[in-house]
């Protein structure tokens, strides 16, 4: 599995891109910064997009991606989400007000729409491209899920934005082949109250979450650090001993 970080920042400033990750060139996880990073040719290779939740920092590039690829897409790109995500994208995003409805528009140059919205079941595996994907709800300000992304040999667990949560860890404990966990830290420890109110994690909070997995050897890939606090957060994360932590950077390419 090739895992490329297009963007892993919890805020947008020059040099820090919003959440978007590319697996094996064709499966996108979230669409915060996709079109700011990928060439048109690379954008054309995307076949499936998994959306964790409807916050703009995770979906905004769906707009520019659809616009860029209109007239260049032989088959629609599947945009996968749980019920609330699919309904939300339809009603609040591709509603011909905020943005044209690229799930419907077609013409002679683009026979089928560029995007196709696809509902993912909860806690049941679904075939997405070459992978099996299982959603489990996490604890965020809006309906949000973690994805277990499995090929024949390995499972990548993408948790994304969340506050303290339980269910995803009990499902994860049942999977022996987890190769990495992608999970957020947004705020420094001194802003624990802000983190709690906005359903995000601090370094201390992250340690409590990964303790629930109970498998210290699994690499924990930290994402969504707010660009206001990188030094503070990195310093606290470095003090956490006994974990296999890596703070992701835009442009990182990992292989599992
Ligand atoms: Zn969010
Ligand atoms: Zn976010």
How many angstroms separate the first and last alpha carbons of the chain?
5
pLDDT at 145: 98
| 3-state secondary structure (DSSP) of residue 191 | helix
**Distance from residue 53's CA to the centre of ligand 1 (Å):** 7
**Distance from residue 245's CA to the centre of ligand 1 (Å):** 22
**Distance from residue 161's CA to the centre of ligand 1 (Å):** 5
Residue 192: Cβ within 10 Å count: 15
Q: Find the ligand nearest to 12 CA.
A: 2
**Distance from residue 236's CA to the centre of ligand 2 (Å):** 21
Identify the CATH number of the domain in which residue 237 sits. 3.60.15.10
Q: Say if residues 201 and 240 touch (Cβ distance below 8 Å).
A: no
Q: Find the ligand nearest to 163 CA.
A: 1
Annotate 202-217 with b (16+ C-beta within 10 A) or e (fewer).
Answer: bbebbbebbeebeeee
**Distance from residue 57's CA to the centre of ligand 2 (Å):** 5
| Residue 32: partners with Cβ closer than 8 Å, 6 or more residues away | 7, 12, 17, 18, 19, 20, 57, 58, 59, 60, 61
- Per-residue pLDDT tens for 15-40? 999 999 999 999 999 999 999 999 99
Looking up tokens 């509603």 gives: 95
Q: Find the ligand nearest to 144 CA.
A: 1
**Distance from residue 140's CA to the centre of ligand 1 (Å):** 7
Q: How confident is the model at residue 50 (pLDDT cuts 50, 70, 90)?
A: very high
> What average pLDDT score do residues 230-254 get?
96
- Per-residue pLDDT tens for 67-96? 999 999 999 999 999 999 999 999 999 999
Q: How confident is the model at residue 14 (pLDDT cuts 50, 70, 90)?
A: very high
pLDDT at 2: 97
Q: Find the ligand nearest to 57 CA.
A: 2
Domain ranges, residue 109: 2-255
**Distance from residue 59's CA to the centre of ligand 2 (Å):** 10
pLDDT at 54: 97
- C-alpha 220/C-alpha 214 separation (Å) is 12
**Distance from residue 107's CA to the centre of ligand 2 (Å):** 34
pLDDT, the chain, mean:
97
**Distance from residue 150's CA to the centre of ligand 2 (Å):** 23
Q: How confident is the model at residue 251 (pLDDT cuts 50, 70, 90)?
A: very high
Q: Find the ligand nearest to 225 CA.
A: 2
Q: Find the ligand nearest to 19 CA.
A: 2
pLDDT at 136: 98
**Distance from residue 199's CA to the centre of ligand 1 (Å):** 8
**Distance from residue 213's CA to the centre of ligand 1 (Å):** 22
- Per-residue pLDDT tens for 122-181? 999 999 999 999 999 999 999 999 999 999 999 999 999 999 999 999 999 999 999 999
Q: How confident is the model at residue 202 (pLDDT cuts 50, 70, 90)?
A: very high
Total of domains in the chain? 1
**Distance from residue 152's CA to the centre of ligand 1 (Å):** 30
Q: Find the ligand nearest to 31 CA.
A: 2
pLDDT at 228: 95
Q: Say if residues 205 and 164 touch (Cβ distance below 8 Å).
A: yes
**Distance from residue 77's CA to the centre of ligand 2 (Å):** 23
């Amino acid at each position: 599995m090739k895992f490329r970080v297009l963007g892993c920042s919890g805020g947008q400033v020059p040099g820090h891109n919003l959440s978007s990750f590319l697996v094996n060139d064709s499966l996108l996880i979230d669409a915060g910064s996709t079109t700011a990073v990928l060439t048109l040719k690379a954008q054309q290779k995307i076949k499936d997009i998994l959306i964790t939740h409807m916050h703009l920092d995770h979906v905004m590039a769906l707009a520019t991606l659809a616009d860029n690829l209109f007239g260049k897409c032989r088959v629609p790109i599947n945009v996968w989400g749980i019920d609330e995500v699919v309904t939300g994208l339809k009603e609040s995003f591709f509603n011909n007000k905020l943005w044209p409805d690229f799930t419907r528009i077609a013409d002679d140059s683009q026979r089928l729409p560029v995007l196709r919205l696809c509902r993912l079941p909860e806690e049941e595996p679904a075939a997405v491209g070459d992978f099996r994907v299982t959603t489990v709800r996490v604890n965020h300000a809006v309906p949000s899920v973690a994805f277990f992304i499995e090929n024949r040999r390995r499972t990548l667990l993408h948790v994304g934005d969340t506050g303290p949560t339980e269910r995803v860890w009990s499902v994860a404990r049942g999977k022996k082949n987890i190769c990495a966990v992608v999970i957020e830290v947004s705020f420094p420890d001194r802003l624990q109250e802000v983190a709690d109110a906005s359903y995000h994690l601090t370094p201390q909070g992250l340690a409590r979450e990964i303790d629930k997995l109970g498998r210290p050897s699994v690499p924990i890939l930290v994402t969504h650090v707010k660009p206001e606090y990188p030094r503070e957060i990195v310093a606290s994360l470095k003090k956490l001993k006994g974990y296999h932590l890596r703070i992701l950077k835009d442009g990182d390419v990992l292989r599992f």
